[in-house]
Amino acid sequence: MDGEVKVSVFCLAYNHEDYIRDCLDGFVMQKTNFKFEVLIHDDASTDKTADIIREYQNAYPDLIKPIYQTENQYSKGIKITKTYLLPAMNGEYIAFCEGDDYWTDPFKLQKQYDYMKEHKECSLCVHRTKIDYIESNRSKIIPDIGSEREYTVSEIIKGHGSLFSTNSFFCRKEVIAEQPECFYAKGFGDYQKMIYASLIGKCVCLYDVMSVYRCGTRGSWTNSVFNVKEKRIAHNKELISLLQRINSYSEEKYCNEINTVIKETEFEILVLQENFSKAKKEPYKDLWKKHKTNELKKKIKGFFRLLYK
């Protein structure tokens, strides 16, 4: 296909040997009437991830454009997207998919590209995604909507970054290239993208389910941070700092929404620290009641699982 590259796909890979083929197959199966490129950053994987990427690079040299590292950049605090991927991109738009996830619709890029071209006011186009929980062997579709819809800034802030999957993101280049420095926080990426995109334009979710997000893969955020108490506490403290900066940037226009999320995050820290005496008091009293109700529900579910096993 002749012409300029219209879409650059950003893919972060690290020790994804067991999953990267599905990811790459999702790229090469895309059917478009425009030219696109796939920029894959392999962050010095210690397994065979880089070898598999080279295999696809040799088979699709005009499409697969890897960046191989000999030393892990993430552990050094390097901003990989801005340092390596943005300078290499040629497209007007960016699509995202990490190496342990994959696309399932061969027309995914075309659908999102067409939508963005037709709706100039849209800064971020996402779609529904199937979430596969590896350890429990169950799945669900997010978001739970009945048709295409627009999401407000308030909804995105209160969504804690879990409204949409990263592998559904399709945005204009400026959402990433022009994102202010105050939006940066180590260990975060999706949440700020959504908030910033919704501040400068519209965020729209298409109804089609066009990708799969694997939750709980080896080396994933869930296993490396979420399930480790100390790291999760540090992560939550970083989130509070990030939200405070975004609050200042937005001139406190969404102060109520941001303060609600900050309160919820502070409460989670107290529970993780087992500081229950403080967690039971104001301003967390309502959250404590909800927390204990959810705990009871989990115990009841666990009892019936054992009963009918």
Band (pLDDT 50/70/90 cuts) for residue 228 is confident
Cβ-Cβ contacts under 8 Å for 76 (sequence gap 6 or more): none
Give mean pLDDT, residues 283-287: 93
Q: To the nearest whole percent, how much of the chain has pLDDT over 90? A: 81
Is the pLDDT at 302 greater than 80? The verdict is no
pLDDT of residue 277: 93
pLDDT at res. 121: 96
Provide the mean pLDDT of the chain.
92
Q: Which residue has the higher pLDDT, 228 or 154?
A: 154
pLDDT in tens, 96-137: 999 999 999 999 999 999 999 999 999 999 999 999 998 888
pLDDT digits (tens, 9 = 90+) for 201-224: 999 999 999 999 998 776 655 556
Report phi then psi at 39, rounded to 5. -100, 110
- What would the pLDDT profile of 8-21 be if each residue is shown by its tens digit? 999 999 999 999 99
pLDDT 10s digits, 243-259: 999 999 999 999 999 99
**What is the pLDDT confidence band of residue 271, given thresholds at 50, 70 and 90?**
very high
For the entire predicted model, the pTM comes to 0.91
Predicted pLDDT at 78: 92
Task: List the structure tokens of 223.
Answer: 């296993």
Alpha helices in the chain (DSSP H): 20-28, 49-59, 80, 86-88, 108-118, 153-158, 173-177, 190-200, 221, 229-249, 255-272, 276-279, 285-308
d(CA 104, CA 208): 11
Confidence label for 296 from pLDDT (cuts 50, 70 and 90): low
Confidence of residue 308 (pLDDT cuts 50, 70, 90): very low
Inform me whether the pLDDT recorded for 309 exceeds 60: no
Give the per-residue pLDDT at 301: 55
For residue 288, which amino acid is it? Answer: W
In angstroms, the CA 19 to CA 212 distance is 12
- Under the banding of pLDDT at 50, 70 and 90, the label for residue 305 is very low
Provide long-range contacts, Cβ within 8 A and 24+ apart, for 75-79.
77/186, 79/184
Is pLDDT above 60 for 306?
no
pLDDT at site 261? 96
Structure-token pair, residue 222: 């869930």
pLDDT of residue 23: 98
- For 149-165, the pLDDT digits (tens) are 999 999 999 998 889 99
Higher pLDDT, 180 or 226: 180
